[in-house]
Amino acid sequence: MNRIMANLRPDLAVIAGHVAPGAKVLDVGCGDGTLMAALRDERGCDVRGLEIDPHNVAECVGHGLSAIQGDADTDLALYPDASFDYAILSQTLQTTKRPDMVLEELLRIGRRAFVSFPNFGHWRVRSDLLWRGRMPVTRLLPVGWYETPNIHHLTIADFRDFVAQRGLKVEGAWYLNGDSLISPAMATWRAEHAVYLLSRG
Amino acid sequence: MDFPLTSRASAPNSTRIMASLFTSCSQTYDLPDPLPLDGGQSLEGVRIAFETYGALNDARDNAILICHATTGDQYVASPHPITGKPGWWSKMVGPGKPIDTDRFYVICPNVLGSCMGTTGPGSLAPDGQPYGLRFPVITIRDMVRAHMALLDHLGVERLYAVVGGSMGGMQALSLSIHWPERVARVLLLATTAVMPVQNIAFQEVGRQAIMADPDWQGGAYYGTGRAPDAGLAVARMAAHITYLSEATLSEKFGRRLQDRDAKSFGFGADFQVESYLRYQGSSFTGRFDANSYLYITRAMSYFDVSEERFGADHTTRLSEAFAGVTARFCVVSFDTDWLYPTAESRKIAHAVNAAGAPVSFMELAAPYGHDSFLLDVPALDRVITGFLSR
């Protein structure tokens, strides 16, 4: 893995490492464009972004990237079918009003979708709830219950059930603890977050 | 669209200066051929007045066309010859500025129908008399057609970028759709793909104010010693309000009185905002021709970029108008702009996106209403610098 990709957030590095070179990519919730820049510069991808914060969009434009200020909950409907090879939703699923609809939209717009999310079933989260009786505040969930943008918490087990119910095909799954990939065994307990590559199957 | 509220430098508040007497120290280009117009006519002897900044490089790939707004002009970064004010976008255009004239060759033409040296209703027709209302009604695409003739003359095959705010953005959009091979980047500020009905309504008020002035004389006022200054000033006052925001008006003037301690119980300019608008109206008549105002606002009210491409009975989606367009777009709106609201810019962005061309869109926060694109909005400087950087 080269320098730029090595500096990416771990889940973004996983995604960047598995996008086919030259692909057309939509990054939903693209932030300041870090992943988009890596995909463009290292993978030769044609990348577009959707981002809710105008300051982040301005950052993207400043880096020569193309990003549209908008809301994943409403604006994905404006994208044509199968217009991208990949649609990416990193650390954003749990912040949407209707994650199920956003996922459906991702797989309508993109032939494949990368989805990453923090695992609410991590042992530290479970212990906070079990022993302290408190909503957890962890490295990946750093904000208190009243102001967190994460309004739809989910666990890896929840996501596996959802994917199975919807008949979606899992083309890849990666589990991260800290900055390291870990094995799928006990991932529901041990993974801080997960990255899935989905298709309609 | 307008000069900043903060730069109220002295402007000649003269009696009517006849349009044909407006002097221009710009370069000019006389079109060798008649200019075909969307209205079906063609116009002979068209002259285009323009300013350039910087130098065209050997590869001829560093040219940026800046399209001015309704009552703007070619003096984008040089002093206005009548008012003496700095160029209307001199904070954005110049050496080391976001539109860097050390790097780019910047071209700014006065639009067709205007009165700063380019052919318009105040110009002389082939019979030696001013056109007046004999001047044909023109469209935004007609203005762009004249720009393209100028680019041919200047040896610019393909623009590095076209940039425009408000009516300038309409020209940039029109150019990107009808001459897609001639532009690589399109920067649209506070604009729209279709003139909103509210704006058509406001502009009709302005035109009616001009035409209700007995000095308008059916448009044939040139050389009579009388001109519809009162009507043009009212048109300007009404339009000026639409360029501002409630927040700007409140902060700048509030309900404060002008040079007096109590209300006069008369109809003088009691309030500061009244005095300010009167000043805006009367100073405008010293630098702009009333008939040009009629023609240019008419072109804007007709503007519908899908209609330009597919005809008046089009039922196509906006995205289809962008089919085949390959330029990279950047679309910016401002949160306090109620004249060209964010929704219009967002429609453009999603249409370009659906057509497959790369596009960025953002709504910037700025307190100045529609005029924000001309005023001090640091975020806009960063966006323009970034968009033009690569």
CB atoms A58 and B362 under 8 Å: yes
CATH number of A3-199: 3.40.50.150
Residues in chain B, total: 390
How many other CB atoms sit within 10 Å of the CB of residue A169?
A: 12
A118-145 as b/e: b if 16+ CB within 10 A: bbbbbeebeebeeeeeeebeeebbeeee
With contact defined as beta carbons under 8 Å apart, do B354 and A78 qualify?
yes
With contact defined as beta carbons under 8 Å apart, do B289 and B120 qualify?
yes
B166 as an active site residue: the answer is yes
Catalytic residue among B24, B114, B166, B372: B166
% of chain B exceeding 70 in pLDDT: 94
B31-65 as b/e: b if 16+ CB within 10 A: beeebebbeeeebeebbbbbbbbbebeeeeebbbb
pLDDT of res. A187 = 95
How many other CB atoms sit within 10 Å of the CB of residue B174?
A: 26
Query: Would you call B358 an interface residue with chain A, using a CB distance cutoff of 8 Å?
Result: yes
| pLDDT (mean) for B73-84 | 94
- The contact set of A with B (CB < 8 A) is 46, 48, 54-55, 57-58, 60-70, 75, 78-80, 83
Report the amino acid identity of residue B329: F
Provide the 3-class DSSP secondary structure of residue B118: coil
Q: Which of A30, A69, A71, A79 to mutate to test the interface with B (most CBs of B within 10 A)?
A: A69
How many other CB atoms sit within 10 Å of the CB of residue B169?
A: 30
Question: B19-195+304-389 domain in CATH 3.40.50.1820?
Answer: yes
B370 as an active site residue: the answer is yes
If residue B170 lies in a helix (H) or strand (E), which one and from where to where? helix B167-178
The alpha carbon dihedral of B281, B284, B288, B293 has a sign of negative
pLDDT of res. B14 = 36
Neighbouring C-alpha atoms within 13 Å toward the C-beta of A91:
16
CA B144 vs CA A1, B29, B36: distances in Å: 49, 15, 11
| pLDDT (mean) for B23-34 | 86
A88 against B313, higher pLDDT: A88
The candidate with the shortest Cα–Cα distance to A198, out of A131, A100, A98, is A100
pLDDT of res. B6 = 34
Say how far apart CA B187 and CA B119 lie, in whole Å: 26
| pLDDT (mean) for B65-88 | 95
Could you report the per-residue pLDDT of B239-269, keeping only the tens digit for each? 999 999 999 999 999 999 999 999 999 999 9
Instruction: Name the DSSP letter for residue B145.
Output: H
E-strand stretches of chain A: 24-28, 46-51, 66-69, 84-90, 110-118, 169-177, 180-182, 193-199
Could you report the per-residue pLDDT of B3-20, keeping only the tens digit for each? 333 333 333 333 334 444
Query: Would you call B108 an interface residue with chain A, using a CB distance cutoff of 8 Å?
Result: no
Could you report the per-residue pLDDT of B158-212, keeping only the tens digit for each? 999 999 999 999 999 999 999 999 999 999 999 999 999 999 999 999 999 999 9
The candidate with the shortest Cα–Cα distance to A122, out of A140, A102, A104, is A140
Residue with tokens 């206005």: B80
Angle between helix B167-178 and B290-302 (nearest 10): 50
For B390, which residue in chain A has the nearest alpha carbon?
A64
Q: Where are the domains of chain A?
A: 3-199
Q: Which of B336, B361, B388 to mutate to test the interface with A (most CBs of A within 10 A)?
A: B361
CB atoms B361 and A83 under 8 Å: no
> Across the A/B interface, how many CB contacts are shorter than 8 Å?
64
Looking only at the bridges linking them, the beta strands covering B185-189 and B93-94 are unpaired
pLDDT class for B317, splitting at 50, 70, 90? confident
pLDDT of res. A4 = 52
Query: Would you call B390 an interface residue with chain A, using a CB distance cutoff of 8 Å?
Result: yes
B350-385 as b/e: b if 16+ CB within 10 A: bbbbbbbbbbbbbbbebbbbbbbbbbebebbebbbb
- pTM score: 0.89
Say how far apart CA B145 and CA B166 lie, in whole Å: 18
pLDDT of res. B5 = 35
Question: In the beta sheet, which residues pair with residue A194?
Answer: A117, A175
Question: In the beta sheet, which residues pair with residue B114?
Answer: none
If residue A164 lies in a helix (H) or strand (E), which one and from where to where? helix A156-165
Provide the 3-class DSSP secondary structure of residue B8: coil
Say how far apart CA B362 and CA A50 lie, in whole Å: 10
> Residue B158 burial (CB < 10 Å; 0-12/13-18/19+)?
middle
Q: Which of A56, A68, A83 to mutate to test the interface with B (most CBs of B within 10 A)?
A: A68
With contact defined as beta carbons under 8 Å apart, do B373 and B166 qualify?
yes
pLDDT of res. B21 = 42
Q: To the nearest 10°, report the CA torsion of B340, A70, B309, B202.
A: -10
Instruction: Give the one of A65, A69, A79 whose C-beta lies nearest to B362's C-beta.
Output: A69
B114 as an active site residue: the answer is no
Say how far apart CA A107 and CA A116 lie, in whole Å: 15
pLDDT of res. A138 = 81
ipTM of the complex model: 0.83
How close does chain B come to A161, measured CA to CA in Å?
33
Say how far apart CA B263 and CA B255 lie, in whole Å: 11
pLDDT of res. A178 = 86
Say how far apart CA B301 and CA B323 lie, in whole Å: 24
Say how far apart CA A200 and CA A156 lie, in whole Å: 19
For residue A58, list chain B residues with Cβ-Cβ distance below 8 A. Answer: 362, 364, 379, 382-383, 386
Provide the 3-class DSSP secondary structure of residue A25: strand
**Chain centroid to CA B87:** 14
pLDDT of res. B22 = 52
Say how far apart CA B110 and CA B118 lie, in whole Å: 6
Instruction: Name the DSSP letter for residue B303.
Output: -
Q: Number of H helices and number of E strands within chain A?
A: 9, 8
Can you list the residues of chain A whose pLDDT is less than 50?
Answer: 1
CB atoms A54 and B362 under 8 Å: yes
The candidate with the shortest Cα–Cα distance to B243, out of B344, B340, B88, B370, is B370
pLDDT class for B356, splitting at 50, 70, 90? confident
Query: Would you call B364 an interface residue with chain A, using a CB distance cutoff of 8 Å?
Result: yes
Query: Would you call B328 an interface residue with chain A, using a CB distance cutoff of 8 Å?
Result: yes
Say how far apart CA A175 and CA A152 lie, in whole Å: 20
Report the amino acid identity of residue B220: A
